[in-house]
Structures are given as structure tokens and as C-alpha cells.
């Protein structure tokens, strides 16, 4: 299921986003694929635990955060997509 985007006024403020970025790292993995590097980090801050997934491709970075409570649904969706690939 794809959720609709969060309305702008309901998105975290800059300071909330910065707090999530400055979390304490509990575990980390690094995956190198071709010219990309992926970092998978389990982090924790004052709001709880979350996964940070970062892609570094030639100095450009993209990051997503997934709360620990939502990681089960996230991985189940990935599994369904992988199974659907011919």
C-alpha cells in the first residue's frame, strides 16, 4: 500500500529533522554496490529508535528514516516486491 504524502503543515520541523539526524548509532552496516555505497544504521534519539538508510552515489546522498515500529511493514513490502520480480 502506498500512502499519500504528508501535508506540508504536518511534516516535522527542521529542528525535529535535525534531532533525528543526530541520533546515537546502535548498529551499522555498509554495502557497496557498483559505484554506490549504502549505510544501514539503527539509531536512537529522544523520540525513540529508528533506521536510517543512506545512499551515497559519487558524493550525492539520499537518506530515509524508518521508525522501529514501522520497519516490519517496510520489510514485508520489500519482500513482496522482490517476489514479484520475474
Per residue in 8-24, pLDDT tens?
A: 445 444 445 544 456 79
Diameter of the chain measured on Cα atoms: 43
In a domain, 5, yes or no: no
21 vs 52: CA distance, rounded Å? 8
At 70, which helix (H) or strand (E)?
none
Q: What CATH code is carried by the domain that includes residue 18?
A: 3.30.2450.30
Number of domains within the chain? 1
pLDDT tens by residue, 29-66: 999 999 999 999 999 999 999 999 999 998 899 999 99
Look up the domain containing 58 and give its range: 12-84
What confidence score (pLDDT) does residue 85 get?
A: 84
Look at residue 36 and tell me if it is in a domain: yes
The sheet with strand 60-67 has its strands ordered as 24-33, 36-45, 48-57, 60-67
Phi, then psi, of 4 in degrees rounded to 5 = -70, 155
Amino acid at each position: 500500500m502506498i500512502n499519500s504524502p504528508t501535508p506540508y503543515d504536518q511534516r516535522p520541523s527542521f529542528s525535529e529533522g535535525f534531532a533525528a539526524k543526530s541520533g546515537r548509532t546502535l548498529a551499522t552496516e555498509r554495502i557497496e554496490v557498483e559505484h554506490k555505497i549504502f549505510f544501514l544504521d539503527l539509531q536512537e534519539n529522544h523520540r525513540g529508535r529508528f533506521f536510517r538508510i543512506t545512499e551515497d552515489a559519487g558524493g550525492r546522498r539520499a537518506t530515509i528514516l524508518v521508525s522501529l515500529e514501522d520497519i516490519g511493514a517496510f520489510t514485508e513490502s520489500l519482500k513482496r516486491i522482490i517476489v514479484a520480480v520475474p
